[in-house]
Amino acid sequence: MISKHQASIDELWQKYAKALELLNETLDELAKKPKEVVVEKEVERIVEADIDLSTPDSVAELERLVEQKLQDGRQE
C-alpha cells in the first residue's frame, strides 16, 4: 500500500517529468526555427542593496527533516 506522502512525491515526479517533456519539445522546436539576430546592449549599473540571502531557520530545519527522512528511507 502506498502512503499518501509517497503518492504526493510520485505526483510531483510525474509533474516534473511532464515539465521536462515540454522543455524537450520546446527545445526541438527552437532548433528548427530559423535563427534570428538579436542585438543586445548591456549597460552595467551597480546598485547597492541590503538584502539578506541567508536561508531562513525554518527552511533549514525543513531541509534537515527531509534529508533525515531520505536517509532513514535508504536504510530500510
Task: Domain ranges for the chain, please list them.
Answer: 1-32
- Show Cβ contacts of residue 38 under 8 Å, excluding neighbours closer than 6 positions: none
> If you average pLDDT over every residue of the chain, what do you get?
86
Quote the CA–CA distance of 19 and 16 in Å, as a whole number. Answer: 5
DSSP, collapsed to helix, strand or coil, labels residue 31 as helix
Given the C-alpha cell 515539465, which residue does it identify?
19
Q: What is the pLDDT of residues 1-32, one digit of tens each?
A: 678 888 888 899 999 999 999 999 998 888 88
Give 75's pLDDT tier (boundaries 50, 70, 90). Answer: low
CB 42 within 8 A of CB 50: no
40 alpha carbon, distance to own chain's centre: 28
Instruction: Give me the pLDDT at residue 76, please.
Output: 57
